[in-house]
């Protein structure tokens, strides 16, 4: 006879809910500040370039990529990739995201030690984020087996 194990749900459900809550907060905050614009008309790409320049960092390319909040700095290719909603937008949200990514490039250029740790664990976190839902579903399905 199949017996469902609620312990698994009690452990995993709060984690899933916390993750959904955090994602929702990021998206709603970005959406709110996407309606507030820079008085100078500075775009996200221009703001990122200014942060790099102000810190004496050169040779970092800034590219536009598709998607929503897919912005990131790639240290392997030394490229800041800004999503469509950030690259050419003059909103304070876009400028904040672009400057955040430029900050990562500055950290790499300055040899900031914690960024090296972050770089080392990113491949693991990417695997974890891609496999989280399938593993959760498998855990629920197999929690009563055996």
Active site residues: 101
Q: Are strands 79-83 and 61-65 parallel, antiparallel or unpaired?
A: parallel
Let me know: does 44 contact 82? Beta carbons within 8 Å.
yes
What one-character-per-residue DSSP string does 52-120 give?
HHHTT--S-EEEEE-SSS--EEETTTTEEEEEHHHHS--BHHHHHHHHHHHHHHHHHHHT-HHHHHHHH
Q: What phi-psi label fits residue 68: left (phi over 0), alpha (psi between -120 and 50 degrees) or beta?
A: beta
Contact, 67 vs 126, CB < 8 A? no
């Amino acid at each position: 006879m199949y017996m469902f194990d609620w312990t698994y749900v009690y452990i995993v459900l709060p984690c899933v809910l916390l993750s959904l809550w955090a994602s929702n907060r990021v998206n709603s905050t970005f959406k709110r500040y996407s309606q507030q614009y820079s008085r100078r008309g500075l775009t996200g790409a221009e703001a990122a370039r200014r942060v790099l320049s102000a810190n004496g960092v050169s040779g970092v390319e800034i590219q536009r990529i598709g998607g929503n909040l897919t912005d990131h700095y790639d240290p392997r290719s030394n490229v800041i990739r800004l999503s469509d909603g950030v690259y050419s937008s003059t909103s304070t949200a876009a400028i904040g995201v672009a400057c955040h990514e430029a900050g990562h490039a500055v950290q790499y250029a300055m040899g900031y030690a914690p960024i090296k740790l972050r770089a080392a664990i990113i491949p693991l976190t990417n695997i974890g984020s891609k496999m989280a839902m399938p593993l959760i579903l498998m855990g629920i399905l197999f929690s009563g087996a055996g």
